């Protein structure tokens, strides 16, 4: 006797819809671009150093720690991502389908060079991939990966792949 097939993690029509939306959003390319509201500046570097417990004289003399790349282009407390921000657009699609919980899984950064005080950074964002459905200990979900690239002028200075699990908490069901 053969084992019964495993039940679908997500209804086929819902999965097809999610993958179609992911493909559509990936087609935007690096549609989301924003420029930092402030130049790289020593007071923000100092605050970051204090918060992170970093004591390196290099970073009190006009250079920013490489891992601060994202700090310069964050939305801030009152900021809202644009409707064309690929990561947020895909997250809305998943939320609307019942995948209401989110868990950060990993972040891969690379730095081409240090930023210096006075430079203004801009970032582009693209949807890199949507993989799933996957059954995890948290629930069934999709791994959503975005790709950010930071520039000063036309020079690339840093990149980041950012992956989250957008999932339905255990005991809930997907909306079809």
> pLDDT tens digits, residue range 34-43?
999 999 999 9
Q: How confident is the model at residue 174 (pLDDT cuts 50, 70, 90)?
A: low
Asked if 28 and 127 touch (Cβ cutoff 8 Å), the reply is: yes
For 18, the token pair is 């999610």
Instruction: Look at residue 176 and tell me whether its pLDDT is greater than 60.
Output: no
Helix (H, G, I), strand (E, B) or coil at 90: helix
Instruction: Look at residue 22 and tell me whether its pLDDT is greater than 80.
Output: yes
Question: What is 12-169's CATH topology?
Answer: Thiol Ester Dehydrase; Chain A (3.10.129)
The residues, ordered by sequence, that sit 6+ positions from 48 with a Cβ below 8 Å of its Cβ are 54, 65, 68, 71
pLDDT at 3: 45
Closest CA to 64 of 82, 78, 43: 43
pLDDT at 150: 97
Q: How confident is the model at residue 30 (pLDDT cuts 50, 70, 90)?
A: confident
Instruction: Look at residue 78 and tell me whether its pLDDT is greater than 70.
Output: yes
Please compute the mean of the pLDDT values over residues 31-56 and round it to a whole number. 94
Give yes or no for a cis peptide into 133 (omega within 30° of 0): yes
Mean pLDDT, the chain, integer: 91
Asked if 3 and 166 touch (Cβ cutoff 8 Å), the reply is: no
DSSP class of 54: -
Asked if 117 and 41 touch (Cβ cutoff 8 Å), the reply is: yes
Reported as a single tens digit per residue, the pLDDT across 115-155 is: 999 999 999 999 999 999 999 988 999 999 999 999 999 99
DSSP class of 78: T
Domain ranges of the chain: 12-169
């Amino acid at each position: 006797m053969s084992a019964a097939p495993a039940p679908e993690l997500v209804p086929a029509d819902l999965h097809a819809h999610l993958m179609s939306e992911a493909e559509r959003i990936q087609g935007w390319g690096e549609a989301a671009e924003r420029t930092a509201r402030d130049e790289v500046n020593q007071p923000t570097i100092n605050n970051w150093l204090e918060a992170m417990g970093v004591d390196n004289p290099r970073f009190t003399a006009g250079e920013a720690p490489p891992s601060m790349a994202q700090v310069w282009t964050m939305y801030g407390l009152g900021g809202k991502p644009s409707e064309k921000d690929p990561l947020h657009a895909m997250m809305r699609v998943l939320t609307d389908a019942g995948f209401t919980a989110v868990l950060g899984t990993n972040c891969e950064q690379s730095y081409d060079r240090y930023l210096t005080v006075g430079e203004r950074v801009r970032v582009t964002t693209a949807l890199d991939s949507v993989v799933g459905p996957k059954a995890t200990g948290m629930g069934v979900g999709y791994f959503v990966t975005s790709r950010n690239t930071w520039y000063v002028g036309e020079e690339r200075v840093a990149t980041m792949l950012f992956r989250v699990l957008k999932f339905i908490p255990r005991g809930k069901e997907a909306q079809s």
